[in-house]
Structure 1
Amino acid sequence: MNIGTAERPLRVAIIGAGPSGFFAAEALLKGPLEVAIDLFDRLPTPFGLVRYGVAPDHQKIKSVTRLYQKTLDDPRVRFFGHVTFGKDVLKEELRRFYDALIYTVGAPSDRPLGIPGESLRGSLSATEFVAWYNGHPDFADLDPDVSVGSVAVIGMGNVAVDVTRILAKTADELRHTDIADHAIETLQRSAVRDIYMLGRRGPAQGKFTTKELRELGELANADVLVDPQDLELDPISEASLTEDPMVAKNVEVLREFAARTPAGKPRRIHIKFLSSPVEVLGLERVEGLRVEKNELRERGGTLTAVGTGQTEVLPVGMVLRSVGYRGVALPGVPFDERRAVIPNALGRVTQEAGGEVLPGEYVAGWIKRGPTGVIGTNKADAAETVRSLLEDAPQLPPAAEPDPDAVTRYLEARGVAFVGFDHWLELNAYELEAGKAQGRPRVKVTRLEQMLQRRGKALR
């Protein structure tokens, strides 16, 4: 029997129900073959980074979930939540039930700074802090100490800007968002007055977008301070203003910030360029951050930040590092430790970089290419992977047990408390209704046990 027909659909398991997983499912649904898709996620909720990574005061970005919801509404798609790959379900078993697997697990970890004192209490990754205020059940008990007067945010990307903005806003400003209730309660007690956002290179090398940067200057509760000397550009940086319109706009916004007279607002955001953290100070918890001043030097046509030996100590009580996400290896799946990705060729998983292709295994998103781009970038990336899969479909080794109920029986036999689409609809309706009563988009359930209370076994 030919695979990809109404009688025998191409059965695909997608591991990870975040943006890349949904874009891959959408591309498969629009393809020429009949498909049956099962989306797996270790959490009972779909949408991944959109639910747990996008800032709560950026609701427009979260509207993409409406498209993802339409994908879940398609009868060819099922959702298996609260299923951990490699623990609840093994790769070897999945290969029995599916003709192809697509790994779309993102990059859930973070890159360390690699400096002394980084493990002190009060030194956190932005990944943890973002997950905490967005209601991720793994971080509901994080309880960051915001009784400190100053915080350092290490990084110059959009996540660093998000973290800085959330710290700078009042709890009342965030009450109309879908920020976690425990975060509102904690931020209500915040004593933070100064937030230092540090970048090791110059303003022309910042990774933030202009829209995100401009928002910092529109905060009602915080002045933005930029040292005009930090905005003096070297020739290569100056040339980049004509080559990249966004860089030019970013520098323009920063120069406007530098020209402002502080209004005396309750909080201050210090944007500091050419600054590298070299040591987190303290005995048991963070008591300061030693920062070295850098200069940019040209090497092979690119600019490298080089320390000058000149240091200063910032009197911060918390350090949030935001220097990049990092992929994590999956059990039984090849992994490139240096790049922290699954090695692949156009989305086809390979044994190693440039190595032999593993038939029937594919990868998309950040775990495929690294943590680059915005949510929409993953659409083209997933489409490339699906094209490879569809090209391979006639030669794929068929699943030994293609019956859709086989995987359900397998999970039940292992005692896996999986949840399905109906459960998500119930949880989603509950959160939306709770939000409506408070004039908010939703009130998130943040405890795993509460998410599972109304778990049913029906997948539809």
Structure 2
Amino acid sequence: MLRVAVVGSGPSGVYTAAALVEQRAVPGVRVDVLERLPCPYGLVRYGVAPDHEKIKSLQGNLRTALEHPGISFFGNVPVGEARRGFAPGQLLELYHAVVYCVGAATDRRLGIPGEDLPGSFSATEFVSWYSAHPDAAAGFRLGARSAVVIGVGNVAVDVSRVLARGADELRPTDVPDAALAALAGSRVTDIHMVGRRGPSQAKFTTKELRELGALPGAETFVREREAALDPAWGDPSGLPAVGRRNVEVLRGWSERPPAGRGRRIHLRFFLRPVALLGDGAVRAVRFERTEPDGRGGIAGTGRFEEIDAQLVLRSVGYRGVPIPGLPFDARSGTVPHDRGRVLREGVPSPGEYVAGWIKRGPTGVIGTNRSCAKETVASLLADAEALLARRPRGEPRAALRAAGREPVEWPGWLGIEAAEAELGRRLGRGPVKIPDWEGLLTAARGRG
């Protein structure tokens, strides 16, 4: 029997596990999915906005895969921290093969003065807070009147939309109660979502963009003179479909008169952040005005503008972080590989594989992970004969317990689900996420 560990239970990890147990070329594959958190599903649970119920429903598909009899779930198992979980070398002693599907765990930085002032956060920190990630910051005080979101991708749209929504709109979701209370008391009236390039080069999808214009308590503003610097603004017909639709939506917003709603979302373009300003806390962001350079890029103009902000959320992309014991390419933020086989000094490392963002970088949509996983699984299966020649030593549960680690297995996760449903009932809501490690582990062990 081929024993495989998959590290990470987000889409790439679950798709990898499912592809392994569903294939027929190598009979009798057993897969253990190891997850640092007590809960499965990765960014589908902790990254998808709470009001995106359709995308969050993907958890049902991931759940079906994890309930396959050939797959076991082990939560609360860190990898790369030998004293608390498993080091890569230890995993290779327990399994024929290990597939790392750990995603991209940190944010890219702006690299500008003032970036670490109080009031400046990565968008991921904000998302983790309203998604009840147990490692999230203790809380956000939303006393700011003006917020700046740096970036024009889907994550930037998500955080702008959550800031602009009323608490009553989020009450039916699984937002934790403390976050819901903070959002209910929010004083934010103006949200500025800012990109250094033009509307045709923005990274958000049209569906996400249109959601901003459909919020009942907010209105969207686009400065036509600013957006018109984009050569495609006047005639977007030559753009790819998404870019064309985005420009058409933004052009429509630029022509709408103000509606006088309580919150305003300003979509700004051709502004490059150069500094966060403030004495002890953020008070404004300084931008340099940019313009198209005629070669598909932008150039600075030497003209500057400040936007008042007491809250700044930086959303300029994710980046992978190294796992101690695995090779890492710091420039790309990925593990070097050949079709999923981990490369050590340019040579495939027997039994070590990668899939997902740690393999290809933070690109694509959730579904992209399926084809990425299939490529890696094909490489692993092609190596199966050589992998089976090595006999694993020991049993994962026993190794964990010997290290003083008690994993959360599938029944424990079901206990967390039940506790979150009960919490929601007590609050007069649907299921509400438990936001802390102690609460999750207590629920998993049946003491809630």
In the superposition, the TM-score normalised over structure 1's length comes to 0.93
- 1:424 to 2:413 alignment: yes
Decide whether the 8 Å contact of 2:232 with 2:239 is kept in 1. Answer: no
In the TM superposition, structure 1's runs of 4+ consecutive aligned residues that sit over 6 Å from their partners are 236-240
* Partner AA of 1:133 in structure 2: Y
- 1:388 to 2:379 alignment: yes
Decide whether the 8 Å contact of 2:236 with 2:248 is kept in 1. Answer: no
Structure 2 Cα separation of the partners of residues 50 and 249 of structure 1: 26
* Partner AA of 1:81 in structure 2: G
* Partner AA of 2:202 in structure 1: G
Match of 2:217 among 202, 211, 221: 221
Structure 2 Cα separation of the partners of residues 435 and 259 of structure 1: 43
Report the alpha carbon displacement of residue 456 of structure 1 after superposing the two structures with TM.
4.6
Q: Secondary structure at the match of 1:137?
A: coil
- 1:104 to 2:101 alignment: yes
1:261-291 CA distance string (max 9 Å, x none): 1100001101001011111001111011111
Instruction: Report what 1:316 is aligned to.
Output: 309
Query: 5+ residue gaps in structure 2?
Result: none
- 1:160 to 2:151 alignment: no
Structure 1 Cα separation of the partners of residues 29 and 391 of structure 2: 16
Match of 1:410 among 389, 399, 402: 399
Instruction: Report what 2:437 is aligned to.
Output: 448
Structure 1 Cα separation of the partners of residues 302 and 124 of structure 2: 30
1:121-140 equivalences in 2 (<5 Å): 121-140=118-137
Instruction: Report what 2:271 is aligned to.
Output: 275
Which one is further off, 311-320 or 392-401? 392-401
* Partner AA of 1:376 in structure 2: G
TM-aligned CA distance change 1:430 to 1:234, over 3 Å: closer
Structure 2 Cα separation of the partners of residues 109 and 383 of structure 1: 25
Count of aligned pairs between the two proteins: 441
TM-aligned CA distance change 1:107 to 1:407, over 3 Å: same
1:265-304 equivalences in 2 (<5 Å): 265-299=261-295, 303-304=296-297
* Partner AA of 1:306 in structure 2: A
Instruction: Report what 1:86 is aligned to.
Output: 80
Instruction: Report what 1:13 is aligned to.
Output: 5
Query: 5+ residue gaps in structure 1?
Result: 1-8
Structure 2 Cα separation of the partners of residues 202 and 128 of structure 1: 26
Structure 2 Cα separation of the partners of residues 29 and 414 of structure 1: 29
Decide whether the 8 Å contact of 1:115 with 1:279 is kept in 2. Answer: yes
Instruction: Report what 1:379 is aligned to.
Output: 370
* Partner AA of 1:21 in structure 2: G
- 1:59 to 2:56 alignment: no
Instruction: Report what 2:240 is aligned to.
Output: 244
Report the alpha carbon displacement of residue 320 of structure 1 after superposing the two structures with TM.
0.4
Report the alpha carbon displacement of residue 192 of structure 1 after superposing the two structures with TM.
0.5
Instruction: Report what 1:206 is aligned to.
Output: 202
1:409-458 CA distance string (max 9 Å, x none): 1110110122111100111122234335656442111110111114459x
TM-aligned CA distance change 1:11 to 1:241, over 3 Å: farther
Report the alpha carbon displacement of residue 381 of structure 1 after superposing the two structures with TM.
0.8
1:297-316 CA distance string (max 9 Å, x none): 133xxx22211111111111
Match of 2:359 among 351, 368, 374: 368
Instruction: Report what 1:113 is aligned to.
Output: 110
TM-aligned CA distance change 1:38 to 1:383, over 3 Å: same
* Partner AA of 1:202 in structure 2: G
Report the alpha carbon displacement of residue 399 of structure 1 after superposing the two structures with TM.
4.7
CA RMSD of aligned residues (A): 1.7
Structure 1 Cα separation of the partners of residues 228 and 385 of structure 2: 59
Structure 2 Cα separation of the partners of residues 13 and 110 of structure 1: 27
Instruction: Report what 1:328 is aligned to.
Output: 321
TM-aligned CA distance change 1:321 to 1:10, over 3 Å: same
Decide whether the 8 Å contact of 1:360 with 1:397 is kept in 2. Answer: no
